[in-house]
């Protein structure tokens, strides 16, 4: 494998604490940030955990906003911002997955307050400066250093209650971050190492997590993988997979993690032959010598997740809208993104058929 002799790498300014019971020092971590009044943000399902976190904050806690939703609707973000202003918040503790972290970022984007993220899924959003807001079925995304959490507390124990199906979908979502980082235009050897190791960690832990969800060793390995995959995404540029999933999720309001889990093998099949180094890294991580995309698809078939977009609510008549959204703004991708190619990809993903790997190559092959 040839070495990438020219590259750039910027370390993101954030801290990570990883381990069982890292939440025991939460109040001191909040104090270190200079935060006097922190709100806790979560989904309705995480209310009980949020209440325990608020209790740990003591007199630094300023209340709970428990209306986080997937894709961060603008009206919910507006309500959360007003809640933060009304409570005089100068900090935000987010607990949960991508929905909660995304809402915390929406608050930070406009209120400029620090975030402490406490992930309970493998979403990876906590490791990125990427924000997203959905208005009238259109999801807008951007990047800003102001939304990057100042501190992430990873406690594997918090993930043991995540159901097997959600664990599997969340993990495949995280692996998508790493796959795209491997063929990103701003990839680097450092990020590629992290991405490959993140995929490897999930490949080793995922079926074990599904079989034995409360096993802390398996959960620890999976959460380690989530950290690496999220960090890989945070340091690189998103390509076809994420643009396509944002179009599907924002336009059709389909579940985020499941959408990513279903689409991943097909987006990689589209790009695989135009990104040989990325293909090789995924093969090493999965310990296969055949198509990386097909290997991911075969892994997904072993998991208790939906395997076709039609199973989560997409219809064949939706393809036109998704293609239109995905083609709207140009973005870097190892293979040229065409309407014909997107339609073929989506038709395969719609019914969940075994992905067909294209043999096309581009001059930008990595």
What mean pLDDT do residues 177-187 have? Answer: 95
- Scan for tokens 């450092």, then name that residue: 190
Structure-derived torsion over alpha carbons of residues 97, 98, 104, 106, reported in degrees to the nearest 10: -170
Comparing CA positions, the residue from 194, 204, 183 lying closest to residue 269 is: 183
Distance CA 21, CA 18 (A): 9
Of the segments 62-76, 129-143, 241-255, 349-363, which one has the largest average pLDDT value? 62-76
Q: At a CB cut-off of 8 Å and minimum separation 6, what does 106 contact?
A: 72, 77, 80, 81, 131, 133, 147
Q: Please, what is the end-to-end C-alpha distance for the chain in angstroms?
A: 11
- Among 107-116, 224-233, 328-337, the range scoring the smallest mean pLDDT is 328-337
Phi, psi angles (nearest 5°) of residue 231: -65, -35
State pLDDT tens for residues 312-333. 999 999 999 999 999 987 889 9
112: exposed, middle or buried (Cβ count in 10 Å: 0-12, 13-18, 19+): exposed
Give the separation between CA 295 and CA 313, rounded to whole angstroms.
25
Task: Using pLDDT thresholds of 50, 70 and 90, give the confidence band for residue 71.
Answer: confident
The model's confidence at residue 13, banded by pLDDT at 50, 70 and 90, is confident
Question: Hey, what's the torsion of the CAs at 293, 297, 302, 306, to 10 degrees?
Answer: 140
Other beta carbons within 10 Å of 100: 32
* Mean pLDDT of all residues in 75-95: 97
pLDDT score at 3: 59
How many whole angstroms separate alpha carbon 360 and alpha carbon 338? Answer: 13
Ordered domains of the chain (ranges, CATH) = 15-159 (3.40.50.1970), 164-351 (1.20.1090.10)
pTM across the whole model? 0.89
Give the distance from CA 139 to its chain's centroid: 15
Compute the half-sphere exposure of residue 132: CA atoms within 13 Å on the CB side of its CA. Answer: 25
Helix (H, G, I), strand (E, B) or coil at 359: coil
Alpha-carbon distance of 213 to 304, in angstroms, equals 13
Q: Rounded distance, CA 238 to CA 183, Å?
A: 9
DSSP 258-327: HHHHHHHHHHHHHHGGG-HHHHHHHHHHHT-SS-HHHHHHHHHHTSSS--SGGGGT--GGGHHHHHHHHH
Beta strand 61-65 with 138-143: parallel, antiparallel or unpaired? unpaired
Closest CA to 78 of 133, 160, 21: 133
pLDDT one-digit tens code per residue, 243-286: 999 899 888 989 989 999 999 999 999 999 999 999 999 999 99
- The mean pLDDT of 155-179, rounded to a whole number, is 95
Angstrom distance (rounded) from CA 66 to CA 61: 14
Render the burial of 278-290: b for 16+ CB within 10 Å, e for the rest.
bbebbbebbebee
Cα separation, 104 vs 213, in Å, equals 28
pLDDT confidence tier of residue 4, bands split at 50, 70 and 90 = low
pLDDT tens for 286-297 read: 999 999 999 999
């Amino acid at each position: 494998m040839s070495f990438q002799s020219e590259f750039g790498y910027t370390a993101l300014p954030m801290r990570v604490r990883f381990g069982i019971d890292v939440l025991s020092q939460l109040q001191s971590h909040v104090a270190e940030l200079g935060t006097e009044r922190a709100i806790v943000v979560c989904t309705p399902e995480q209310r009980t955990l949020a209440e325990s976190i608020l209790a740990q904050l003591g007199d630094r806690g300023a209340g709970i906003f428990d209306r986080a939703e997937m894709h961060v609707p603008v009206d919910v973000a507006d309500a959360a911002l007003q809640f933060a202003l009304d409570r005089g918040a100068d900090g935000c503790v987010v607990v949960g997955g991508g929905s909660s972290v995304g809402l915390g970022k929406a608050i930070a984007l406009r209120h400029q307050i620090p975030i402490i993220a406490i992930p309970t899924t493998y979403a990876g959003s906590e490791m990125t400066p990427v924000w997203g807001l959905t208005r009238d079925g259109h999801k807008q995304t951007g990047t800003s250093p102001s939304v990057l959490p100042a501190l992430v507390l990873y406690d594997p124990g918090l993930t043991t209650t995540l159901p097997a199906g959600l664990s599997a979908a969340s993990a495949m979502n995280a692996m998508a971050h790493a796959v795209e980082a491997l063929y990103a235009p701003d990839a680097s050897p450092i990020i590629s190492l992290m991405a490959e190791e993140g995929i490897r960690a999930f490949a080793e832990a995922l079926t074990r997590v599904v079989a034995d969800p409360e096993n802390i060793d398996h959960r620890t390995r999976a959460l380690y993988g989530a950290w690496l995959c999220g960090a890989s995404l945070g340091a690189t540029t998103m390509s076809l997979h994420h643009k396509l999933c944002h179009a599907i999720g924002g336009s059709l309001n389909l579940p985020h993690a499941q959408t990513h889990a279903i689409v991943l093998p097909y987006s990689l099949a589209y790009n695989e032959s135009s990104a040989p180094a990325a293909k090789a890294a995924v093969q090493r991580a999965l310990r296969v010598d055949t198509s990386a995309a097909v290997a991911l698809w075969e892994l997904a078939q072993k998991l208790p997740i939906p395997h076709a977009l039609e199973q989560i609510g997409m219809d064949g008549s939706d393809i036109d809208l998704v293609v239109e959204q995905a083609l709207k703004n140009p973005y870097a991708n190892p293979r040229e993104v065409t309407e014909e190619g997107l339609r073929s990809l989506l038709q395969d993903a719609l019914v969940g058929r075994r992905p067909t790997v294209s043999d096309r190559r581009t001059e930008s092959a990595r």
